[in-house]
Amino acid sequence: MDIAVLAGGLSGERDVSLKTGGMVAEALRGNGHRVILLDVFMGYKDVKGDISDIFAQEWDAGVQVEDISETAPDLEKIKAARDSECDGLFGPNVLQICQMADIVFMALHGEDGENGKIQAAFDLLGIRYTGSGYFGSALAMNKAVSKTLFRENGIPTPGGITMSKTDWTENFTEEEISLPCVVKPCSGGSSIGISIVRTEGEFVKALEEAFRWEDEIVIEEFIEGRDFSVGVLGGKALPVIEIMPVQGFYDYKNKYKAGSAVEICPAELDAKATEDLMDYAVAVAKALGLTTYARMDFRMNKDGCIYCLEANTLPGMTATSLLPQEAQAVGINYVQLCERIIQYSLEKYEGKK
């Protein structure tokens, strides 16, 4: 097949996305597909003349895939680097190349790919793509909305409130917020902008950090306990994985720097807890209308109570990512995982899913 792997963009997870895209492109090429790795924002401006045979070239369209840094990228610097008169997200030739592909593999993470806008544009243009549709993506991306849907569907989630940049207060007692609490952007990912607040003095600083990334934030109760994640592939839960950061919590650095966290899959849990986590993961996918694949993050307190934190509609596919580890635990290697994601996505267009 001719496959465009779409990565990059302008979210705080840009670097992670490029790493995912590079690995996916390499895996699919190795399996016989004609693949182009494309940065959705930078695009490819050096195409001269006819691009009808573009997939025969099998290049990475000016994409530089480097190791993921310990901090999120400077997005203003990225914007300034694009040599284009267009102010939109899609860089030169991106839509044309995607329209020529048999399917677009969505290797985007964060706002530029998981909020449903690109999916909606592709639907209008008749472009086939991997993963969930625009509506489920939008629901999952907004943590305030998804948490409401969790509660309505009997899925436990930490209590909390939302706060906007135009109407916020640093007096957390007015909002009946108790410490410790978690302050995070409403639609962010990769733990960017997240703070665990344990003292009154840390609260304002946490608000400022979260509002640096978005205009709406979520403040929720902090669940002291263990971190777990469960992938759902083709409507079925993958094995539970436990994440144990060597230091601190599972922040951006600990997610992507090798050796910063210990991950155990399958997680060492009793049968009941394992079943509950897997059942909740499938229930979350159904509640949000997610298809093909996704990954749900959970916390378990010392009493064994489970809380769903969020759903990831385009989970990472890097060397340290959780979903590939979960798939490997049931004998699905990286190449096979990429192929299954494509297979399930194509079946969606054929009306089978």
Residue-by-residue DSSP string for 224-289: -EEEEEEEEETTEEPPPEEEEESSSSS-HHHHHSTTSEEEESS-S--HHHHHHHHHHHHHHHHHHT
Task: Output the average pLDDT for the chain.
Answer: 87
Higher pLDDT, 73 or 130: 130
Query: Residue 271's pLDDT is what?
Result: 97
Inter-CA distances, 186 with 106, 109, 131, 138, 230, Å: 22, 15, 21, 12, 21
Q: Tell me: pLDDT of 177 over 50.
A: yes
Mean local confidence (pLDDT), 332-336: 97
Q: Tell me: pLDDT of 212 over 50.
A: yes
Mean local confidence (pLDDT), 332-338: 97
Higher pLDDT, 41 or 188: 41
> Which of 6-20, 25-39, 126-140, 245-259 shows the lowest per-residue confidence on average (mean pLDDT)?
245-259
Mean local confidence (pLDDT), 325-344: 97
Q: Tell me: pLDDT of 353 over 50.
A: no
Do 59 and 93 touch, CB atoms closer than 8 A? no
Alpha carbons 226 and 284: distance in angstroms, whole number:
19
Higher pLDDT, 115 or 208: 115
Residue 279 makes CB contacts below 8 A (sequence gap 6+) with 237
Q: Which helix (H) or strand (E) holds 139?
A: helix 134-141
- pLDDT tens-digit readout, 262-307: 999 999 999 999 999 999 999 999 999 999 999 999 999 999 999 9
Tell the residue number behind the tokens 């946490």, with chain if given: 206
Antiparallel, parallel or unpaired: β 181-185 and 160-164: unpaired
With bands split at pLDDT 50, 70 and 90, how would you rate the model's confidence at 13?
confident
With bands split at pLDDT 50, 70 and 90, how would you rate the model's confidence at 254?
very low
Q: What percent of the chain has pLDDT over 70?
A: 84
Higher pLDDT, 72 or 42: 42
Query: Residue 22's pLDDT is what?
Result: 92
